[in-house]
């Protein structure tokens, strides 16, 4: 399966900085064998869309509202993202869950709305350290998948990319933060595939893309991406630097 490497810039990079990143990145990388997605802040979507229009890089957003329009001050809809050129949208990121109180049921509405508008969700799931220490990892992931993927037409499931992001492995901007070991990440991915199989059958579970997020960087990308059930990466901190992000993309080949 073709690997997906997605940059989650979070609340970083002004418009100017976004343009200069893409110009530098495009000089280093021209890679057709990997799906590359850049998810900038909303304010940079338009300029990044313009910069990448002649390349194979795809545009993604970091969040969206589940309605197409209406009285939702400060929100952005799937319809708006699609019009501006987005192909992907990150949904259910742990920072949205923890800081902005998003729960599985809200995320499920967003997944449904994204698919209705022809956006491909990157659906994040994963446990925190306390849950892991209490032996709850599988229960947490299974519930997140069941709830967030409820009421979705089987024919649409393969448009979804699941991102396994163990919260304890997310760098929060610290470049020295430790990622999950390749073995621990692989175990999480295998479990996710088994839950998807129970929900949607073997064919879908074999073909759904499950990507890893949490302190992926040039030093560990090859090992993580070499695991049989890891189909790509969602990259936060290391994606802010064009050379580092390019190295990660090359590791996915
Ligand atoms: C993320 O938060 O999606 C992420 C993967 O961050 P980082 O790579 O910085 O751990």
Ligand 1 proximity of 165 Cβ (cutoff 6 Å): yes
Look up the CATH number of the domain holding residue 239: 3.20.20.70
* Residue 29 contacts residue 55 (beta carbons within 8 Å): no
**70 CA to centre of ligand 1 in angstroms:** 31
Question: Catalytic: 65?
Answer: no
Query: How does pLDDT run across 68-110, given as a tens digit for each residue?
Result: 999 999 999 999 999 999 999 999 999 999 999 999 999 999 9
Predicted model pTM? 0.98
Count the domains in the chain: 1
Residue (of 65, 20, 7, 24) closest to 47 by Cα position: 20
CA distance 135 to 221: 27
From the CA of 39, how far away is ligand 1's center (Å)?
A: 12
For residue 185, CA distances in Å to 137, 166, 168, 171 come to 12, 8, 12, 15
Using alpha carbons only, give the angle 234, 42, 148 rounded to the nearest 5 degrees. 50
Q: Which domain holds residue 71?
A: 3-251
For residue range 230-243, list pLDDT tens digits in order. 999 999 999 999 99
Instruction: State pLDDT tens for residues 169-184.
Output: 999 999 999 999 999 9
Q: Which residues pair with 36 in a beta bridge?
A: 5
């Amino acid at each position: 399966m073709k690997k997906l490497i997605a940059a989650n810039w979070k609340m970083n990079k002004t418009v100017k900085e976004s343009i200069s990143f893409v110009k530098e990145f495009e000089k280093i990388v021209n890679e057709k064998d990997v799906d590359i997605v850049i998810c900038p802040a909303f304010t940079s979507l338009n300029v990044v869309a313009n910069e990448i229009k002649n390349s194979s890089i795809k545009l993604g957003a970091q969040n969206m509202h589940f309605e197409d329009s209406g009285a939702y001050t400060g929100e952005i809809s799937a319809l708006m993202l699609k019009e501006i050129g987005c192909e992907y949208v990150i949904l259910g990121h742990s920072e949205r869950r923890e800081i902005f109180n998003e729960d599985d049921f809200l995320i499920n509405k967003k997944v449904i709305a994204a698919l209705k508008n022809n956006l491909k969700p990157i659906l994040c799931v994963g446990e925190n350290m306390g849950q892991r220490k209490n032996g709850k990892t599988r229960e947490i992931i299974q519930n997140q998948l069941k709830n967030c993927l409820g009421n979705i037409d089987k024919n649409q499931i393969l448009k979804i990319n699941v991102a396994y992001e163990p919260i304890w492995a997310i760098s929060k901007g610290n470049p020295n933060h430790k990622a999950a070991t390749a073995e621990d990440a692989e175990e999480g991915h295998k479990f996710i595939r088994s839950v998807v199989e129970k929900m949607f059958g073997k064919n879908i579970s074999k073909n759904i893309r499950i990507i890893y997020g949490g302190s992926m960087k040039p030093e560990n990308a090859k090992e993580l991406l070499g695991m049989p059930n890891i189909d790509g990466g969602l990259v936060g901190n290391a994606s802010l630097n064009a050379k580092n992000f390019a190295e990660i993309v090359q590791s996915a080949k």
